Amino acid sequence: MRRKTALPELLAPAGSIEALYAAVAAGADAVYLGGKAFGARAFAKNFDEQALSRAVAYCHLHGVRLYVTVNTLVYERELPAWLDFCRSLYAMGVDALIATDLGGISLLKKHLPDMEIHASTQMGLHNSEGVKVAESLGFCRAVVARECSLADLRDMIERTPIELEVFLHGALCVCHSGQCLFSSLVGGRSGNRGECAQPCRLPYGDGAYPLSLKDLSLARHITELCEIGVASLKIEGRMKSPDYVYGVTRIYRRLLDEGRNATEEEERALASLFSRGGFSDGYFTGRLGGMTGVRSEEAKAESRALEKGEFLPQRVPVSAEAEFLLGKPARLTLTAANKRVTVYGETPAPAVNAPLTEAALKERLSKMGNTFLSLPEAAIAVSMDEGINLSVAAINALRRAAAEAMEGSGREMPPAAQIEVPQREEETPLTTAVFYEPSVLYSLSAEEKAIFDIRFVPLTYYADLSGENGVALPPVIMERELRAVRARLASAASKGAKYGLISNLSHFALCREAGLIPIGDFRMNLYNPYAAESLASMGASRSLCSLELTAPRARGVGGVLVYGRAPLMLTERCFVKENAGCAACGSFAFTDRRGMRFPVMREYEHRNLIFNSVPTYMGDKTGELARHRLLHRHFIFSVESAREIRRVLEAYLAGAPLDMKVRRIGVSEARVYGEAESTAAKKARPDIAKQGRAEMPKKTHAPKRSAPPSVKKAPHENGPLHKKKKTDGKKHR
């Protein structure tokens, strides 16, 4: 849907009240910021609720909209507090919430139906089908993926029912938003919880910085963005200084108002404020070369040398009409450029001694004190009877009431919400696996394959492995790729695929068209039972929970990973080709400063997956998983050979540990992720190369296989894995 105004909205960041003042002074149409919790920038100064209320008042007095980020993923126990916070924001008059969590969004739709909601870029919306689903969930705007090209954006705007917001300037993540687990699983700080430690900014291999991208700048594409009908242009930078916010916003304000692209001088000015070796428009133009860059010492020095500004609130001039008549309540009307309010006070009485004078009245009414208003005595028109009096306290109360009404833009506080945990039928056991290098399937026996109820093969390779009952949809499908993906999915369905492993909202429509049963991947970022219920209501038969959850938190949410290297990043660029050439596809890896090796594999079409250096393994902890009713067990096979896969399966079926270093999922309440770690995360940045919950193997090794796996375990120990029967999959629908 094309925007409704002549120009796109210019949306500026504010990580502090000074940055808010700077954004408004520079000409932002809207400002986005975060509270002390639930925002994706946990280390910005952010705003407590009193400061948020003041920020709303300030923005609205200046005709600026204000959006608040509540775009972290939310644990079940946090949802009542999260919803209460959203209720408070609604009552303050916040114009919109920027949200991500599917469970939280379903609660917002139910309990705050009038609240405007914007889909965060963390939701990974990169095609029109995904945006259509977002609209059905209650969103009125979608912040689309930074990786979208001009052509993709143009087509999406024409085909989607809601507004699209596009990132205009600022830091670029090398990983698709919402798909990065590097900081969380390796460094203990979750990017999905606002605590990203930026592993992409660290050196790899020979000390180079292959994952560090230059900042985004679309300053040379303003006219194109205006022409295609983008609703909002967003500047990234809630961690940046007020000077940065003011300088960047002011330049883009000028470009938009003058309807032109930036000059070289303006680009240099933007770079002097902040850049990492220059800027990139690679995703927008489709030219992905030369996007890497780091922040040099010279650039830091240049930014420090810039003159620093002092950003104070700009008072809004108002005029007043005051009426003080005998027998009538005192009346005071304040008028600003875009607002007019009237309040009433006590009734004046006949003066006994010294009557109230017009000069004294104007002096008292003009004292706006700690407000954002300015009322000169000359701007006050007074109508009053002679010989009257009214106490100083009554006059002050009338003035305060008028100022509060002028600054206020709140709504009635909605009633407190009673949240009930969704009641779902008890799930039956299910074992699934995805084979990123599906050629190993040729080497597995029918009995070994039968361990898995569903074997997912990436769509790229499915044509070569017809007959497998599952196809893994590409996590990212740009608008330009939809037609080809539809054709491939239809072909896969005709050759035996029954299930689709989905990792994006757009996949629901694609699976429905192909006649596939959707199974939610961990990439859907399910953090709570409400999110799982939301996904089920859209058609997902079963789902995996986020890989960031521990076993206690995963209960009632979804299935868990029992073996596999977790995909830590999904990149738009092919780093294999850039760093080692196409011949290295399938064998390339990044090596960090500690020598940990992170394999890189191809995704559709030439995107990359960066896998963890060690696999997660819970095959010897299935009793604990069963205790939490985690009956959907999932395997990820990436760089493993057929021989290594057999070794994993033997250990799993025997309930034995693996003779290698592995990562664990917490299985007790004492190890629930998020409490101790989030406190520590506010201290010094940890070394991202440290595998937080990695374990070395015990001396015990998996026994050599001497009999078919069908007789190795009792049913109560490993669920359905002790034996397999032929099934058409209907019981899992």
CATH number, domain at 508? 3.20.20
Predicted model pTM: 0.90
As to burial, measured by CB atoms within 10 angstroms (0-12 exposed, 13-18 middle, 19+ buried), residue 467 is exposed
Q: What pLDDT does residue 144 have?
A: 98
With cut-offs at 50, 70 and 90, classify the pLDDT of residue 671: very low
Can you give the residue range of the structural domain that contains 387?
Answer: 316-407
Between 723 and 397, name the one with better pLDDT: 397
pLDDT at residue 423 is higher than 90? no
What backbone phi and psi angles, to 5 degrees, belong to 114?
-90, -5
Q: What pLDDT does residue 716 have?
A: 29
Q: What pLDDT does residue 725 have?
A: 36
Pair 372, 339 in one domain = yes
What backbone phi and psi angles, to 5 degrees, belong to 661?
-70, 130
Pair 400, 485 in one domain = no
What backbone phi and psi angles, to 5 degrees, belong to 600?
-120, 130
Q: What is the DSSP letter of 155?
A: H
Q: What pLDDT does residue 40 have?
A: 62
What backbone phi and psi angles, to 5 degrees, belong to 38?
70, 10
With cut-offs at 50, 70 and 90, classify the pLDDT of residue 695: low
As to burial, measured by CB atoms within 10 angstroms (0-12 exposed, 13-18 middle, 19+ buried), residue 585 is middle
Q: Is residue 474 within 8 Å of 604, Cβ to Cβ?
A: yes
Q: Single out the residue in 283, 305, 327 at which a domain terminates.
A: 305
Q: Single out the residue in 305, 330, 359 at which a domain terminates.
A: 305
Q: Read off the pLDDT of residues 118-149 as tens digits, 9 standing for 90 and up.
A: 999 999 999 999 999 999 999 999 999 999 99
Tell me how far apart the alpha carbons of residues 13 and 73 are, in angstroms, rounded to a whole number. 21
The C-alpha R_g of the chain, in whole angstroms, comes to: 29
| H or E element in which residue 549 lies | none
pLDDT at residue 639 is higher than 80? yes
With cut-offs at 50, 70 and 90, classify the pLDDT of residue 685: very low
Q: Identify whether 376 is part of a domain.
A: yes
Q: Identify whether 715 is part of a domain.
A: no
pLDDT at residue 244 is higher than 50? yes
Tell me how far apart the alpha carbons of residues 277 and 284 are, in angstroms, rounded to a whole number. 18
Pair 291, 396 in one domain = no
Pair 356, 462 in one domain = no
Q: Identify whether 205 is part of a domain.
A: no
pLDDT at residue 67 is higher than 60? yes
With cut-offs at 50, 70 and 90, classify the pLDDT of residue 669: low
Q: What pLDDT does residue 724 have?
A: 36
Residue type present at position 408: G
Q: How far is CA 191 from CA 120, 188, 194, 681, in A?
A: 14, 10, 5, 11
What integer is the mean pLDDT of 268-287?
Answer: 96
Q: What pLDDT does residue 416 have?
A: 86
Q: Identify whether 416 is part of a domain.
A: no
Residue-by-residue DSSP string for 144-186: --TT--HHHHHHHHHH-SSEEEEEEEE---SBPTT---HHHHH
Written as six digits, the tokens of 653 are 């079926």
Q: Is residue 362 within 8 Å of 382, Cβ to Cβ?
A: yes
Tell me how far apart the alpha carbons of residues 548 and 91 are, in angstroms, rounded to a whole number. 33
Q: What pLDDT does residue 415 have?
A: 87
Pair 438, 532 in one domain = yes
Pair 630, 504 in one domain = yes
| CATH code at position 163 | 3.20.20.70
Pick the closest to residue 285 from 160, 121, 146, 164 (CA basis): 146
pLDDT at residue 310 is higher than 90? yes
Pair 33, 149 in one domain = yes
Count of domains forming the chain? 3
End-to-end CA separation in angstroms for the chain: 35
Q: Which residue has the tokens 């990439």?
A: 523
Q: Is residue 538 within 8 Å of 556, Cβ to Cβ?
A: no
Pair 263, 142 in one domain = yes
Pick the closest to residue 605 from 478, 417, 510, 468 (CA basis): 478
Pair 524, 447 in one domain = yes
Q: What is the DSSP letter of 313?
A: P
As to burial, measured by CB atoms within 10 angstroms (0-12 exposed, 13-18 middle, 19+ buried), residue 559 is buried
pLDDT at residue 205 is higher than 80? yes
Pair 466, 560 in one domain = yes
What integer is the mean pLDDT of 202-217?
Answer: 94
Q: Identify whether 604 is part of a domain.
A: no
Between 464 and 624, name the one with better pLDDT: 624
Q: What pLDDT does residue 25 have?
A: 98
Q: Single out the residue in 263, 283, 305 at which a domain terminates.
A: 305
Q: Read off the pLDDT of residues 470-503 as tens digits, 9 standing for 90 and up.
A: 999 999 999 999 999 999 999 999 999 999 999 9
Pair 51, 147 in one domain = yes
Query: Which regions of 650-716 does DSSP assign to beta strands (E)?
Result: 662-663, 694-695
Which of the residue ranges 69-73, 112-116, 384-388, 408-412 would you say has the lowest mean pLDDT? 408-412
Q: What pLDDT does residue 42 have?
A: 66
Q: Identify whether 332 is part of a domain.
A: yes
Coil/strand/helix, residue 718? helix
Pair 457, 506 in one domain = yes
Q: How many helices (DSSP H) and strands (DSSP E) are in the chain? A: 25, 33
Q: Identify whether 725 is part of a domain.
A: no
With cut-offs at 50, 70 and 90, classify the pLDDT of residue 688: very low
As to burial, measured by CB atoms within 10 angstroms (0-12 exposed, 13-18 middle, 19+ buried), residue 102 is buried
Q: Identify whether 178 is part of a domain.
A: no
